[in-house]
Amino acid sequence: MNPIQSFLSRAFPALHGGALAGAVAGCVLACIVGVVVLQALPGKARKAIIAGVTFLAGLFYALEFFLPANAQDENILTFAVPTVGNVTNVLGGMTLGLGVLSLIRIHGANVVKVKSGWENSMLLLVSMVVMAVAGIKYEHTLFYRSLFRDVLNSFDAAMFAVLAFFIVSAAYRAFRIKSAEATLLMVAALVVMLGQIPIGQYLTHWLPVKGSYLSLLRLDNISNWLLTTVNAPAQRAIGFGLGIGGLAIALRIWLSLERGAYFEAKADES
């Protein structure tokens, strides 16, 4: 146990029963007070607090990455990674309630005002309640499994199946020969497709597999070359650009250098 771990164990000993319930209630109260205080603060002060918390949270992960690790691949901060992850998950979980409230607000209004399509809104609200009750109270019953597996999963599968038709219409538009680039795309796609299927491979099966320049003309070899020598480097190049772009924006957010509606407007209020 490292010094930080032992200090935290002494400062926050494991609680049970009434003490645990009291601590949870205290944390909830502290959160409510925190939100109220943040709302009451002027924009600039609020921005400073948010920037400070963001910096500390980012600093934790940066230090955890850069501090040397021992043979067990752990350093002085590694023990806290699951706990910090749990904090993030709890914050995320709290927002799910707001999402559900949004659904109830919009669809509840549709039902109350008997707007066009109110029947769908009613069905959604009823389904939401039935699914929630089934999940909380009857999780290990056929009723819940049937709702989840037979109804929800089937709906998901049906939506996924729609993709097959959309791929055909998108491919038709993409492969129409209307420019030099589209022609190149069409030819490349045709070669890759033929190289992947038995009938395409059969067309050039009489050419040597390797050891001769003629092997370069085999459809499966051309297809493989297109995928590994042309497509893969292009994908990696895009990946590099994205990685560096992600690093830059993460730095901007970590150091509160980012400009945008969610950063500037609050500070401008005061």
Q: Which one of 131-139, 206-214, 222-230, 244-252 is the stretch in contact with another protein (CB under 8 A)?
A: 244-252
Which CB sits closer to another protein, 51 or 250?
250
* Closest C-alpha to 186, from 196, 201, 176: 176
Nearest-approach distance from CB 138 to another protein, in angstroms: 20
Instruction: Match 């706990």 to its residue by tokens.
Output: 83
Question: What does the block give as tokens for 114?
Answer: 């008997």
- C-alpha to C-alpha distances, 117 to 108, 122, 155, 224, nearest whole angstrom: 12, 9, 20, 51
Q: Which of 27, 91, 187, 197 binds another protein (CB under 8 A)?
A: 91
- Residue 207: left if φ>0, alpha if ψ -120 to 50, beta else—which one? beta
Nearest-approach distance from CB 25 to another protein, in angstroms: 24
Nearest-approach distance from CB 107 to another protein, in angstroms: 9
Long-range contacts, 117-126 (Cβ 8 Å, 24+): none
Nearest-approach distance from CB 105 to another protein, in angstroms: 8
Instruction: Match 């921005």 to its residue by tokens.
Output: 47
* Closest C-alpha to 46, from 236, 263, 246: 263
> CB of 85 within 8 A of CB of 78?
no
Q: Is 212 helix (H, G, I), strand (E, B) or coil?
A: coil
By CB under 8 A, the residues from 144 to 203 that bind another protein are 152, 155-156, 159-160, 162-163, 166-167, 169-171, 173-174
DSSP-derived letter for residue 151 is I
Instruction: Match 């009750």 to its residue by tokens.
Output: 133
DSSP-derived letter for residue 153 is H
Nearest-approach distance from CB 197 to another protein, in angstroms: 19
Which CB sits closer to another protein, 83 or 95?
95
Which CB sits closer to another protein, 7 or 155?
155
Which CB sits closer to another protein, 119 or 156?
156
Question: What does the block give as tokens for 131?
Answer: 């699914």
Number of H helices, E strands in the chain: 12, 0
Binding to another protein by residue 98, rule CB under 8 A? yes
Q: Which of 41, 222, 250, 267 binds another protein (CB under 8 A)?
A: 250
Phi, psi of 117 (to 5 degrees): 80, 20
Which CB sits closer to another protein, 82 or 198?
82
Q: Which of 20, 23, 59, 106 binds another protein (CB under 8 A)?
A: 106
By CB under 8 A, the residues from 13 to 42 that bind another protein are none
Q: Which of 19, 23, 123, 244 binds another protein (CB under 8 A)?
A: 244
Binding site for another protein (CB under 8 A): 64-69, 73-75, 78, 81, 91-92, 95-100, 102-103, 105-106, 109, 117, 152, 155-156, 159-160, 162-163, 166-167, 169-171, 173-174, 235, 237-242, 244-253, 255, 257-262, 265
